[in-house]
Structure 1
Amino acid sequence: MPKAIWNGAVLADSDRCEVVEGNQYFPPDSIQQDYFKESSTHTTCPWKGVASYYSVEVDGQVNKDAAWYYPTPKEAAKNIAGYIAFWKGVKVEV
């Protein structure tokens, strides 16, 4: 089962992930919400739409914009609506 780990904490784990462009996207109900803080960062993907970000905080350490998701993706990416993916040193074990 895929797991996302950073700073010794399991941020998310699920056997219902979606893989897009090599990234594991975790269902919204699989994340440990206490570690996630909304960010004001947004980026745009030509085919997925506008991404929103979370910063992750574990034991007082913050990993800014370490997770992203598409709240209202374009039609081609509707299967990952609200699903969360990781980068910036977050280890995803498959």
Structure 2
Amino acid sequence: MKATWNGQTIAESDKTVVVEGNHYFPRESVNPEYLQESATHSTCPWKGEASYFSLNVAGKDNRDAAWYYPAPKDAAKQIAGHVAFWKGVTVSE
């Protein structure tokens, strides 16, 4: 699977984990040069607290376009160390 935005590949892996229709990429498959830590957090009742990254690609920002669970609950332990995307990021094979 490949995640792209603004003409660049953000992440690529053949070992994504699909949860609720979202592909979670192993963190090591995500290009760190495009990620910026965000102060945004949200809570899922069964996955736990999510943290976010904004993307900066070729001078364009996409705020909070990636999320991850630093300490997922037991029901979601398979996504520990993984990152998912939304907000216009294309995920395709």
TM-score range, shorter chain: over 0.9
TM-score after normalising by structure 2: 0.99
SS in structure 2 at match of 1:79: helix
Confirm or deny that 1:74 pairs with 2:73. Answer: yes
Give the Cα separation in 2 of the matches to 1:65 and 1:82. 17
Structure 1 letter corresponding to 2:2: K
Give the Cα separation in 2 of the matches to 1:60 and 1:91. 18
Structure-to-structure mapping, 1:12-27, within 5 angstroms: 12-27=11-26
SS in structure 2 at match of 1:16: coil
SS in structure 1 at match of 2:14: coil
Structure-2 residue corresponding to 1:63: 62
Cα distance per residue 1:7-66 (max 9 Å; x no partner): 000000000100000000000000000000000000000000000000000011000000
**C-alpha displacement of 1:77:** 0.3
Give the Cα separation in 2 of the matches to 1:82 and 1:55. 17
Aligned residue pairs, count: 93
Structure 1 residue ranges without an equivalent (≥5): none
Structure 2 residue ranges without an equivalent (≥5): none
SS in structure 2 at match of 1:26: strand
The sequence identity of aligned pairs, in percent, is 61
Structure-2 residue corresponding to 1:46: 45
Which contiguous aligned blocks of 4+ residues in structure 1 show a shift greater than 6 angstroms?
A: none
